[in-house]
Amino acid sequence: MDHISEPDLARLNRDVLQGFYSIIKDLDEYIKFVMITGVSKFAKMNLFSGLNNLQDISINQNYGTLCGYTHAQVADTFAEHLQGVDMDKLQQWYNGYNYFGEPIYNPFDILLFIANNKEYKNYWWGTGNSSFLIDKLKEQNYYLPDVQNFIADDIVLDTFDVDKIDLVALLWQTGYLTFAGKWEGFNGMQYRLKVPNKEVQQSLNTLFIEYLTHQGPQLRVNQQALYQSLVDAKFDDLKIALSALFSSIPYNNYANNIIANYEGYYASVVFSYILSLGYPCIAEDVTSRGRIDLTIKLPGRTIIIEFKVDQDEQALAQIKQKKYYEKYLTQGQDVYIIGIGFNSKEKNISDYQWEKIKQC
């Protein structure tokens, strides 16, 4: 993985490992038990061609909790170290990895959480180099909100070799995505992927923002402005914050055709920024009348956003016409609807309207 962006060297490393595993196979009569672990599950036919009798237990339900802590284990084993901790909040931050057993915590997070006086931080994010993910984002065009609710099959999940690495498979194997569920489709098992917890949600979307905007230090300024406008329910301030955000994106991003490669560029930027704040968001939120572009769940309120780019139709009018908000009227929360239109020539907001929906 350290050399995945250097194909020639990566292939050489793969060939060395192939030879190593071939020797293990030749010594089979002397070996009672072998377990191979690692972050990335390279395709067996390429890396393990000399060791073809492996049983892959990566998503075997019988071993679903093998490499993490369950909530019961954390609450019991670390009880003396977690006194006074809001266990629901701890779950939101660090639990959620799912391999079809009970959801598990990343052990590294729990140990560092305790060692750092129980402060909520992105501990796991700080342990690795994510630059190779940026390289893959440049190579493979995905509508980023779709990545975080992706449906894959075994072929996609196993598409992982030096010469061919699928972005979704890479995000799953490196811990940015986990499983939300599975079912049997017409051509085998289908898997829905999701972001496991708040820590990864913030980290992954900060990575996406870096790719989409190249903003550097300005990133924190924009995050703070968006956060405050949402917390205070000041949606005129939200327009100001979003306009400033797009104004601050370096021109070379457009010159490098990032927008040309992303039909949903503007939605991707807004989606990634808001998710980086740690709020629960739903992209392509399904209703009986269509799909909401973005739903944001905040304490005491739900925000529904529709995006338009270079279109005469007003985004707010579509929300009202299709009554997207009806889905959330019975939940006892304030519901706000926001329509945002973008002009690709101006590279910024051209139309912005919002309303608070009156409860029935």
Residues 119, 202 share a domain? no
Beta-ladder partners of 182: 191
Contact 43, 158 (CB under 8 A): yes
Residues 281, 208 share a domain? yes
Contact 168, 152 (CB under 8 A): yes
Question: What are 123's two structure tokens?
Answer: 């501990």
pLDDT digits (tens, 9 = 90+) for 27-42: 888 888 888 887 666 6
What are the angstrom distances between the C-alpha of 353 and each of 67, 180, 229, 344? 48, 34, 15, 18
Residue 186: its pLDDT value, please?
80
What are the angstrom distances between the C-alpha of 284 and each of 95, 205, 247, 291, 306? 25, 17, 26, 5, 10
For the four alpha carbons of 206, 207, 212 and 216, in that order, the dihedral sign comes to positive
Separation between Cα atoms, residue 95 and residue 139, nearest integer Å: 31
Q: In angstroms, how far is CA 83 from the centroid of its own chain?
A: 31
Contact 105, 68 (CB under 8 A): yes
Task: Evaluate whether residue 165 is within a structural domain.
Answer: no
H or E, element range at 104: strand 104-105
Task: Evaluate whether residue 142 is within a structural domain.
Answer: no
Residue with tokens 């779950």: 91
Tell me which DSSP letter residue 241 carries. Answer: H
Residues 344, 273 share a domain? yes
Separation between Cα atoms, residue 95 and residue 269, nearest integer Å: 26
Task: Evaluate whether residue 117 is within a structural domain.
Answer: yes
Task: Evaluate whether residue 320 is within a structural domain.
Answer: yes
Residues 50, 72 share a domain? no
Question: What are 93's two structure tokens?
Answer: 């931050």
Contact 171, 144 (CB under 8 A): no
Residues 228, 114 share a domain? no
Residues 225, 278 share a domain? yes
Domain boundary among 99, 126, 153: 126
Separation between Cα atoms, residue 220 and residue 251, nearest integer Å: 19
Output the domain CATH number for residue 265.
3.40.1350
Is pTM beyond 0.85? Reply is: no
* CA-closest candidate to residue 122, choices 277, 227, 271: 277
Q: Quickly count: other Cβ atoms within 10 Å of residue 337's Cβ.
A: 24
Residue 318: its pLDDT value, please?
92
Residues 243, 101 share a domain? no
Residues 330, 342 share a domain? yes
Residues 207, 122 share a domain? no
Task: Evaluate whether residue 292 is within a structural domain.
Answer: yes
Domain boundary among 126, 143, 163: 126
What are the angstrom distances between the C-alpha of 312 and each of 236, 270, 323, 350? 22, 21, 20, 11
Residues 315, 245 share a domain? yes
Residue 135 phi/psi, 5° resolution?
-60, -40
Residue 36: its pLDDT value, please?
82
Residues 260, 121 share a domain? no
Per-residue pLDDT of the chain (360 residues; tens, 9 = 90+): 777 778 899 888 888 888 887 787 778 888 888 888 876 666 665 666 666 677 888 888 999 999 899 999 999 999 999 999 999 999 999 999 999 989 999 999 999 999 999 999 988 876 665 667 777 777 766 667 777 778 888 888 877 777 777 788 888 888 889 999 999 988 789 999 999 999 998 888 888 888 888 777 788 888 899 999 998 999 999 999 999 998 888 766 655 556 655 657 888 888 888 888 888 888 788 888 888 988 999 988 999 999 998 887 789 999 999 999 998 988 888 999 999 999 888 889 999 999 999 765
Task: Evaluate whether residue 189 is within a structural domain.
Answer: no
Task: Evaluate whether residue 279 is within a structural domain.
Answer: yes
Residue 242: its pLDDT value, please?
93
Domain boundary among 74, 93, 126: 126
Task: Evaluate whether residue 14 is within a structural domain.
Answer: yes
Separation between Cα atoms, residue 318 and residue 53, nearest integer Å: 56
pLDDT digits (tens, 9 = 90+) for 264-278: 788 888 888 888 888
Residues 204, 347 share a domain? yes
Separation between Cα atoms, residue 172 and residue 179, nearest integer Å: 8
Separation between Cα atoms, residue 85 and residue 55, nearest integer Å: 40
Residue 304: its pLDDT value, please?
95
Separation between Cα atoms, residue 45 and residue 57, nearest integer Å: 16
Residue 166: its pLDDT value, please?
78
Domain range spanning residue 84? 62-126
Number of folded domains that form the chain: 3
Residue 87: its pLDDT value, please?
97
